[in-house]
């Protein structure tokens, strides 16, 4: 993969997420090209392939990975397929950007970590795109600069306007809060060692036993504290934000930056209606940086260990919501491939 060459990328999954990645690769990444797409829905995959550069079409993701014309892979298929497809990429020694979660369980994610560690080099990046979101990056830079002193408390909020029936309380953790768990680890730079999840049901359409609103309180290995509020049916729009309380100040992500409309005795500002709208810029930057990193030695973004660590915490959150009590987690030493001196709950 020379610096002047276009990297041939295959995208597995052509729904909303995969379609967005295919579009970004085709229109916004000069040093890459969409070489192949895969989906069990061949018609949908064919439409994406035709729309974004006449890419080859597969109905089997593993076949796409093994194709000699594909140099790197984006996995945007359903959660249960993530770990098997990433393991297939490791077998083929091809770099992969896998959407969150890395797997549908911590155990499956650990298989990925162990396989990559055995290989001896990083090929896996996990799609925690908030690390590329300008609003989140601005807060991270303020914390790293020492502007508010050492971080003491992390606060995150994650609100969806609405969701269709069919989810459960565990889904909220694995598919929504997983992003906030990674954010907490990223901002505090410590592992989460205890969690306590409380929740309530505000939407009967999900069933009375589904906690569509959840509040997670946590502590870290270094004694920091935090909270994460997840509301999947907030009603008013899609909003994600973060605040870090430091020893000498507070930094908070900026509010929406759209025009303020004054009408009918009120001033209003638009709020995004979904994740593709809110994080469009982050997704573009993420895949541009990923491709550039591949041309300069290997992925530098959130890695397989980050994917595993977030799922370990998610498992503890699920145990807490089931037991309705705080859950402590044991610690593991991180493999040498992913750094030194970091511990993670299991």
Encode pLDDT of 60-88 as tens digits: 999 999 999 999 999 999 999 999 999 99
Q: CB neighbours of 319 closer than 8 A, spacing ≥ 6? A: 327
Which has the closest alpha carbon to 255: 241, 273, 236, 234? Answer: 241
Question: What CATH number is attached to the domain comprising 158?
Answer: 3.30.360.10
Whether residues 184 and 331 share a domain: the answer is yes
Whether residues 218 and 288 share a domain: the answer is no
Tens of pLDDT, residue by residue over 235-260, are: 999 999 999 999 999 999 998 778 99
What is the mean predicted confidence (pLDDT) over 135-152?
Answer: 97
Taking the CB of residue 119, how many other CB atoms lie within 10 A of it?
A: 14
Position 204 scores a pLDDT of 92
Which has the closest alpha carbon to 325: 225, 198, 230, 165? Answer: 198
Whether residues 60 and 179 share a domain: the answer is no
**What 3-state DSSP class applies to 164?**
coil
Position 1 scores a pLDDT of 54
The span from the CA of 305 to the CA of 285, in Å, is 21
pLDDT of 325 over the 90 cut? yes
Whether residues 32 and 157 share a domain: the answer is no
For residue 118, give its domain range.
7-130+281-302
Phi, psi of 143 (to 5 degrees): -65, -45
**What 3-state DSSP class applies to 136?**
helix
What is this structure's pTM? 0.94
Q: CB neighbours of 265 closer than 8 A, spacing ≥ 6? A: none
What is the mean predicted confidence (pLDDT) over 160-171?
Answer: 95
Position 329 scores a pLDDT of 83
pLDDT band for position 303 (50/70/90)?
Answer: very high
The span from the CA of 102 to the CA of 182, in Å, is 12
Between strands 192-200 and 213-220, the pairing is antiparallel
Whether residues 110 and 230 share a domain: the answer is no
Whether residues 298 and 317 share a domain: the answer is no
Beta bridge partners of 228: 156, 216
Q: What is the mean pLDDT of the chain?
A: 94
| Rg over CA atoms, the chain | 20
Tens of pLDDT, residue by residue over 6-65, are: 999 999 999 999 999 999 999 999 999 999 999 999 999 999 999 998 899 999 999 999
Inside any domain, residue 1: no
What kind and span of H or E run contains 307? helix 304-323
pLDDT of 190 over the 70 cut? yes
**What 3-state DSSP class applies to 97?**
strand
What is the mean predicted confidence (pLDDT) over 214-226?
Answer: 97
């Amino acid at each position: 993969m020379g610096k002047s060459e276009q990297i041939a990328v295959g995208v597995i999954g052509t729904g909303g997420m995969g379609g967005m990645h295919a579009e970004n690769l085709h229109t916004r990444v000069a040093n890459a090209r969409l070489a192949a797409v895969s989906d069990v829905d061949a018609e949908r995959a064919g439409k994406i392939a035709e729309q974004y550069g006449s890419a080859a079409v597969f109905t089997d993701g593993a076949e796409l990975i093994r194709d000699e014309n594909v140099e790197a892979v984006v996995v945007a298929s359903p959660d249960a397929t993530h770990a098997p497809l990433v393991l297939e990429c490791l077998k083929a020694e091809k770099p992969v950007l896998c959407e969150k979660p890395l797997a549908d369980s911590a155990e499956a994610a650990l298989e990925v970590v162990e396989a990559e560690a055995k290989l001896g080099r990083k090929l896996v990046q996990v799609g925690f795109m908030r690390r590329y979101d300008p609003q989140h990056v601005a807060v991270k830079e303020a914390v790293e600069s020492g502007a508010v002193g050492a971080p003491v408390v992390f606060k995150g909020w994650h609100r969806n306007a609405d969701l269709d029936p069919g989810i459960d309380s565990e889904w909220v953790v694995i598919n929504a809060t997983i992003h906030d768990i990674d954010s907490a680890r990223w901002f505090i730079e410590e592992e989460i060692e205890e969690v306590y999840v409380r929740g309530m049901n505000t939407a009967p359409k999900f069933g009375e036993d589904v906690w569509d609103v959840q509040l997670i309180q946590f502590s870290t290995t270094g004694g920091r504290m935090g909270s994460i509020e997840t509301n999947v049916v907030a009603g008013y729009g899609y909003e994600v934000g973060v605040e870090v309380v430091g020893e000498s100040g507070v930094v908070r992500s900026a509010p929406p930056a759209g025009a303020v409309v004054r009408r009918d005795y009120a001033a209003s500002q638009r709020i995004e209606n979904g994740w593709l709208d809110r994080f469009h810029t982050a997704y573009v930057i993420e895949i541009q940086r990923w491709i550039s990193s591949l041309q300069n030695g290997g992925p530098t973004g959130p890695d397989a260990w980050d994917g595993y660590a977030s799922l370990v915490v998610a498992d503890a959150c699920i145990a807490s919501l089931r037991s309705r009590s705080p859950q402590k987690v044991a610690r593991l030493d991180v493999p040498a491939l992913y750094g030194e001196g970091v511990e993670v709950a299991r």
